[in-house]
Amino acid sequence: MITVRNITKIYKTAIKNQNFKGFIQYLFNRQYKKTLAVKNISFNIHQHELVGFIGPNGAGKTTTIKMLSGLLYPTSGEIEVEGFKPQERKKGFLKMISFLMGQKNQLFWELPAIDTFIANKEIYEVKENRFRKQLNLLVELLNVSKLLDQPVKTLSLGERMKMELIASLIYEPKILFLDEPTIGLDIISQKAILSFIKEYNKIKGATVILTSHYLKDVVSLANRLIMINKGEIIYDGNVDTIQRKYSKEKVVKLILRSPDNKKFVEKVFNKIEYNYPVVKFKVPKNKIIETLTKLQEIEFEDISIEDISIEEIISQLWQEKE
């Protein structure tokens, strides 16, 4: 469905000095600074996939999605989306995709959200029966039937984002580009939006590419992660594979019988977290047996050995790329 071959994006920014000579040079003989945003990346996304596209600030996430949607031209390389070249912005392509950014809005501020939905129905040439069927589904999934006739300016941020989703999906696009759709929302609203995205992907089979800084939410939602840092892809694969491939440590959790045992744990193990009676520390995977042997010298009520969270592993991968 989406094929990306060796795309690179370089931004050119005119250099402007503050003095008069620099101003004249800026007008007639401009010098440019080049910034590499995306460097020679390639990947394929198949129909019905829900992909988490993640990375730290400035990694190239939004630039890549804007190229996939045709808002930006790649400096080099090729992109193909269902047979279309995104940068050509053909009508058939635009009817097939939807691009929702958490910091942008398309709703008419002074009017009820339903007016935006009707406007989009006309813009995208959606037939009345198809429009009503899709609207009813989205309203039911998001539980917003009582909000349709309220002016947008009276809605909370979470409620507005739900309406933005409906406006973006009212014409049933095959591909959804969602760039930080939960940014700034409270935890309850975040969960509602993410739950909706997962359910909509399941019901409609839409292909979803999601970016978010909330790693835990993306990991719980997506089956596949594409990680980008400094314009380069550093991981592309199944979520579960990350722990097996990159986790080098385990977390040992003890329930101590006596506070006195803390001294032994501190002496033998580094970087412990202690909140009596619970103590946690990390050990290399290849030293688990050795660790259990040492722990025989102390008394504890319970012990568990866990994997490091995927979010922590991802953060470590980003730091290694710095």
Instruction: State CA 197 to chain mean position distance.
Output: 12
Mean per-residue pLDDT for 53-61? 90
Antiparallel, parallel or unpaired: β 232-238 and 273-275: unpaired
DSSP state for residue 157 in the 8-state scheme: H
Which H/E stretch holds residue 266? helix 261-268
CB 78 within 8 A of CB 5: yes
The domain spans of the chain are: 2-243, 247-321
Asked if residue 312 has pLDDT above 70, the reply is yes
Asked if residue 43 has pLDDT above 90, the reply is yes
Mean per-residue pLDDT for 42-57? 93
Q: What pLDDT does 23 receive?
A: 67
Asked if residue 84 has pLDDT above 70, the reply is yes
Tokens of 10: 């370089």
Asked if residue 295 has pLDDT above 80, the reply is yes
Cα–Cα distance between 80 and 4 in angstroms, integer? 7
Q: In what order do the strands lie in the sheet with 2-15?
A: 31-45, 2-15, 76-81
Q: What pLDDT does 22 receive?
A: 67
CB 145 within 8 A of CB 137: no
Name the architecture of domain 247-321: 2-Layer Sandwich (3.30)
DSSP state for residue 112 in the 8-state scheme: B
Asked if residue 216 has pLDDT above 90, the reply is no
Tokens of 249: 């440590």
Q: What pLDDT does 243 receive?
A: 76
- 3-class state of residue 17 by DSSP: coil
Higher pLDDT, 274 or 15: 274
pLDDT digits (tens, 9 = 90+) for 190-214: 889 999 999 999 999 999 999 987 8
Q: What pLDDT does 142 receive?
A: 95
Asked if residue 55 has pLDDT above 80, the reply is yes
pLDDT digits (tens, 9 = 90+) for 135-184: 999 999 999 999 999 999 999 999 999 999 999 999 999 999 999 888 88
Confidence category of residue 114, pLDDT binned at 50, 70, 90: very high
Cα–Cα distance between 9 and 22 in angstroms, integer? 28
Higher pLDDT, 25 or 109: 109
- From 64, 54, 56, select the one nearest 8 (Cα to Cα): 64
* DSSP string across 294-321: HGGGS-EEEEEEEEPPHHHHHHHHHHHH
Higher pLDDT, 173 or 30: 173
| Residue 248 burial (C-beta neighbours within 10 Å; 0-12, 13-18, 19+) | exposed
The amino acid sitting at 48 is H
Asked if residue 106 has pLDDT above 80, the reply is yes
Mean pLDDT of the chain: 89
Mean per-residue pLDDT for 252-280? 80
Asked if residue 116 has pLDDT above 70, the reply is yes
Ramachandran angles phi, psi of 306, nearest 5°: -125, 160
| Beta-carbon contacts of residue 85 (< 8 Å; ≥ 6 apart) | 78, 79
Half-sphere exposure of 53 (CA within 13 A, CB side): 28
- 3-class state of residue 257 by DSSP: coil
Q: What pLDDT does 308 receive?
A: 83
Higher pLDDT, 248 or 2: 2
Confidence category of residue 322, pLDDT binned at 50, 70, 90: low
Ramachandran angles phi, psi of 242, nearest 5°: -60, -45
Instruction: State CA 6 to chain mean position distance.
Output: 22
Asked if residue 30 has pLDDT above 80, the reply is no
Q: Other CB atoms closer than 10 Å to residue 100's CB: what's the count?
A: 20
Tell me the CATH number for domain 2-243: 3.40.50.300
Tokens of 179: 């760039």
